[in-house]
């Protein structure tokens, strides 16, 4: 039995406006479609949802001709670059907005966690919001009461459950929101990337709960994430969106492979030509160079050796206050899992002293297992909220760490043996 059906669904927006924003547009649209029973003329115009091009039309297709079915009990990962249409697809399914064309059928109640605070009234307490959300799902007060203790315990918000949610941090709001969505027994659970707001412990709990919901209770889960490890662990099927269209449907592993292949194409481009970046562009990374102990530019280095990473920046806005800059960079594995991060405010570095646009990170010893790592960079000014981002590129560059005997002479390290970071140690027996 199909739990979800998208039948040739498209969603069109007029850039910068709600509806068409002019009475003439709206009356003409209503007259042609509802009275004359003809095709909507605005469906013949508009451009593909491609963030990399400026475009000439004020109409854009956020989604175009989306057609797929999800069986009951399936766990489907929705993946794609930023702006591919993932969140729009979930909003259509959750009836936050309606499709421009096509039909969506969902068999069963839908519990959604799309954005921080979605479905919560800020003036109501956490407890009151739980009952309100349950009522929206069609549950009786006694049914909600039976689940109340589990929801509160899972969220970890017991101390603040009778406090208005407007006073919650974003992490607390997400924890409670997920608990409500997962425990009030919707037949379909829809989860967007908001889980990234929670800490590592909560993310692990949330993934475990989604597994229980799908495997143990036979409910359907749609999960959007950029974390390929979470998609691989949780999902059995995957849908990859690209520029508002379905680029691939298949197993989760095949969908991940297709997504990673696109990243391979991007990473081969010069840094300033990359279109898969985020941020306001006030400051941008222009080049990244790895150098070994001899100062030679490299793309490979041996385990345990020193490395310097030179990051060149281009200042596009003279008013950018680099004394308020925060730089973060790190190594990730091929599934997007962070192995290590370096953050400038923790290392007490002041970028106001920068002279030639070069920032260098010195690493005394590459204590990582041998494999290829993706190096990601982020620079923000005035804080680390998304609105403060100047430039974010992940992956920005790639480094292969080569096998070597760093612990015991003559004994090379194994590539995949649990965690990737290496900490020296010694076994002693009595």
- Do 280 and 179 share a domain, yes or no? no
Residues 128 and 215 both lie in one domain: yes
Distance in angstroms (rounded) separating the CA atoms of residues 133 and 342: 40
332: enclosing H helix or E strand:
strand 325-332
Same domain, 138 and 167: yes
Q: Which alpha helices (DSSP H) does 94-227 contain, by range? A: 126-136, 141-155, 170-183, 200-211
Please state, in angstroms and rounded to a whole number, the distance separating the CA atoms of residues 284 and 379: 8
CB 297 within 8 A of CB 291: yes
pLDDT of residue 13: 80
In a domain, 334, yes or no: yes
Q: Are residues 254 and 301 in the same domain?
A: no
- DSSP, residue by residue, 275-318: -S-BS-SSEEEEEEEEE-TTS-EESEEETT--EEEEEEEEE--T
- Predicted local distance difference test score (pLDDT) of residue 162: 93
Cα–Cα distance for residue pair 82/48, rounded to 1 Å: 15
Domain hosting 300: range is 271-402
In a domain, 26, yes or no: no
- Strand partners for 10: 101
Locate 284 and state its tokens. Answer: 């941008």
> What is the longest distance spanned by two Cα atoms in the chain?
91
Tokens of 152: 């509160």
Do residues 385 and 341 lie in contact, with contact meaning Cβ atoms separated by under 8 Å? Answer: no
Secondary structure element (H or E) that encloses residue 160, with its range: none
39 in a structural domain: no
Nearest to 337 by CA among 389, 392, 378, 376: 376
Mark whether 110 and 224 lie in a shared domain: yes
Which of 9, 71, 14 shows the shortest CA–CA distance to 42? 14
**Domain check: are 282 and 212 in the same one?**
no
Sequence-distant (≥ 6) Cβ neighbours of residue 222 within 8 angstroms: 4, 70, 76, 78, 90, 93, 188, 189, 190, 191
51 is a domain residue = no
For residue 25, the model assigns a pLDDT of: 62
| Residue 153 Cα distances to 33, 110, 148, 392, angstroms | 51, 22, 9, 36
| Residues sharing a CB contact under 8 Å with residue 77, sequence separation 6 or more, in sequence order | 223, 224, 225, 231, 234, 235, 237, 238, 239, 252, 255
> Are residue 81 and residue 156 in the same domain, yes or no?
yes
- Same domain? 245 vs 302: no
Q: Classify residue 48: in a domain, yes or no.
A: no
Predicted local distance difference test score (pLDDT) of residue 69: 92
β 300-302/338-343 pair status: unpaired
Same domain, 257 and 278: no
**Is residue 256 assigned to a domain?**
yes
Q: What share of the chain is helix, strand, coil (3-state, %, to 5)?
A: 30, 30, 40
Flag whether 411 is in a domain.
no
| CATH code of 234's domain | 3.40.50.300
Residue 156 CA, chain-centre distance (Å), reads 23
- Same domain as 276, residue 191: no
Q: Report in angstroms the alpha-carbon separations of 129 from 92, 119, 122.
A: 23, 8, 9
Query: Measured between alpha carbons, how far is 71 from 222 in angstroms, rounded to an integer?
Result: 11
Reference 174, options 93, 118, 234; nearest CA is 118
Query: What distance in Å separates the CA atoms of residue 327 and residue 277, rounded to the nearest whole number?
Result: 15
For the purposes of burial, counting CB atoms within 10 Å of the CB of 314, is it exposed (0-12), middle (13-18) or buried (19 or more)?
Answer: middle
Are both 370 and 255 inside the same structural domain? no
Residues 6+ positions from 64 with CB-CB distance below 8 Å: 10, 48, 49, 244, 245
Angle value at C-alpha 72, between 76 and 234, nearest 5 degrees: 30
Q: Which residues, 6+ apart, have CB-to-CB distance to 195 below 8 Å?
A: 113, 174, 178, 202, 203, 206, 225
Residues 189 and 305 in one domain: no
CATH of the domain at 387: 2.70.50.60
Residue 3 domain flag: no
Number of domains composing the chain:
2
- Full pLDDT tens readout for the chain, 430 residues: 788 999 999 988 876 555 545 556 666 666 666 666 666 655 555 445 554 454 456 677 889 999 999 998 899 999 988 778 888 898 899 888 888 888 999 988 888 877 666 678 889 999 998 998 888 777 888 988 998 999 999 888 888 999 998 898 878 888 888 888 888 778 888 888 766 666 667 777 888 888 888 887 788 999 888 777 778 878 899 999 988 899 999 999 888 888 877 766 677 788 888 888 889 999 999 999 999 988 989 888 888 889 999 999 999 998 888 888 999 999 988 777 788 889 888 877 778 777 678 889 999 988 888 888 999 999 999 888 888 899 999 889 999 888 776 666 666 666 655 566 665 665 555 6
d(CA 193, CA 242): 17
């Amino acid at each position: 039995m199909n739990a979800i059906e998208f039948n040739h669904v498209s969603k069109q927006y007029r850039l910068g406006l709600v509806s068409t924003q002019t009475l003439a547009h709206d009356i003409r649209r209503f007259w042609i479609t509802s009275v004359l029973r003809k095709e909507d003329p605005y469906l013949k115009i508009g451009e593909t949802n491609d963030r990399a091009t400026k475009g000439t039309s004020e109409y854009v297709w956020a989604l175009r001709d989306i057609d797929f079915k999800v069986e009951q009990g399936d766990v489907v990962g929705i993946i794609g670059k930023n702006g591919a249409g993932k969140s729009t697809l979930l909003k259509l399914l959750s009836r936050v907005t309606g499709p421009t064309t096509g039909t969506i059928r969902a068999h069963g109640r839908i519990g959604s966690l799309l954005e921080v605070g979605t479905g919560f009234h800020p003036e109501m307490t956490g407890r009151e919001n739980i009952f309100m959300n349950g009522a929206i799902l069609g549950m009786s007060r006694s049914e909600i009461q039976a689940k109340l203790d589990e929801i509160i315990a899972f969220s970890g918000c017991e101390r603040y459950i009778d406090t208005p949610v407007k006073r919650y941090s974003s992490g607390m709001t997400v924890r409670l929101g997920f608990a409500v969505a997962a425990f009030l027994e919707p037949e379909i659970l829809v989860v967007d990337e908001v889980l990234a707001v929670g800490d590592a412990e909560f993310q692990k709990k949330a993934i475990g709960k989604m597994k229980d919901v799908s495997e143990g209770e036979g409910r359907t889960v749609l999960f959007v994430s950029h974390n390929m490890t979470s998609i691989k662990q949780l999902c059995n099927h995957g849908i990859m969106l690209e520029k508002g269209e379905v680029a691939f449907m298949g197993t989760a592993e095949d969908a991940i492979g297709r997504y990673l292949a696109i990243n391979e194409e991007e990473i081969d481009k010069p840094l300033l030509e990359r279109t898969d970046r985020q941020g306001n562009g006030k400051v941008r990374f222009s080049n990244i160079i790895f150098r070994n102990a001899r100062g030679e530019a490299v793309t490979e280095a041996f385990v345990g050796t020193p490395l310097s990473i030179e990051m060149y920046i281009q200042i596009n806005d003279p008013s950018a206050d680099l004394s308020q800059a925060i730089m973060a960079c790190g190594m990730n594995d091929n599934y997007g899992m962070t192995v290590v991060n370096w953050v400038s405010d923790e290392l007490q570095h002041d970028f106001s002293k920068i002279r030639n646009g070069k920032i260098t990170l010195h690493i005394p010893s590459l204590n990582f297992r041998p494999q290829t790592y993706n190096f990601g960079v982020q620079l923000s000014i005035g804080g680390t909220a998304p609105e403060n981002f100047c430039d974010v590129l992940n992956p920005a560059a790639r480094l292969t760490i080569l096998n070597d005997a760093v612990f015991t002479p003559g004994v090379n390290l194994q590539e995949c043996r649990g965690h990737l970071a290496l900490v020296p140690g010694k076994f002693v027996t009595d």
